[in-house]
Structures are given as structure tokens and as C-alpha cells.
Amino acid sequence: MEKSDEEWRAILTPEQFRVLRQKGTEAPGTGEYNKFKGKGVYNCAACNAPLYVSDTKFDSGCGWPAFFDAIPGAIKRYEDSSHGMRRIEITCANCGGHLGHVFKGEGWKFTEADERHCVNSVSLTFQEKDDNKQIEST
């Protein structure tokens, strides 16, 4: 999904543009979905592509929404060595929007891959699960 900065600015809030398009980070503990417990699907705030299901969300205490796995094929990973550390940046596979970072090996025993996807709330929208409809993985 290719759009110019002007096109993105027309559909995103200034904070969404800063995080999703300029790889910013929202302040810890301020995001709408940090302690949110609804059941459903978290979509990309830029393109509405499904990214995470609520069953993979957990409280890591990091100040941002944390997930232990994404919907298959929903995100892309890139090495990020900015800020003097080695991290894995995650982006929406559909539009390339910056979501946050993946951290590995922190000892999350309930996660098979021992990963924490630390995601900016502003990069997400939430779609409540309708018990009469199945959430589809892409």
C-alpha cells in the first residue's frame, strides 16, 4: 500500500502519523489499549488490516500493549539498531506502518516463542468480537 505523506496526513491524526509513518513511540502508560481487556481483533490504525487477536494479549507491565504472537502474515520484522540497542522493529505487512518492537528471551514461559510484541496503542484500532462471527486469521 503506497501513499504519499500528504495522503497519510489526511487520514491519520498527527500522533498516528508520527508513530506509524515516522517510527515514533507514544509515552509509556498513556495508550488506550495498554490495560484494555476487550475480546476481539486489533487492526492497523492506518489500513485496518487485522494484526493481533485479543487471546494473544497479556499484561507485561511495560507500559504498552503486549502480545505474544501476531496473526500469521500480518506483520513484518526488521532489525533495528537505533538508540544504541539491538531490537526487532515490527510493521504492518499491508501498509508498512510502524507498530513497535519485538523483544525475545525475557522469560515469558506461557509464550512458545518467548516473545513480547510491544505495540503502540496509537498504531491500533480495536474491533470487538461478535460471538456469532468467527475471527478470521489472514
Point out the residues that are catalytic: 118
How long a stretch of residues is the chain?
138
- CB of 89 within 8 A of CB of 101? yes
Rounded alpha-carbon distances, angstroms, from residue 131 to 52, 71, 103, 134: 17, 19, 32, 7
Concatenated DSSP letters of 72-97: TTSEEEEEE-GGGS-EEEEEETTT--
Neighbours of 66 (CB within 10 A): 22
What is the spatial distance between Cα 134 and Cα 24, in angstroms, rounded to a whole number? 33
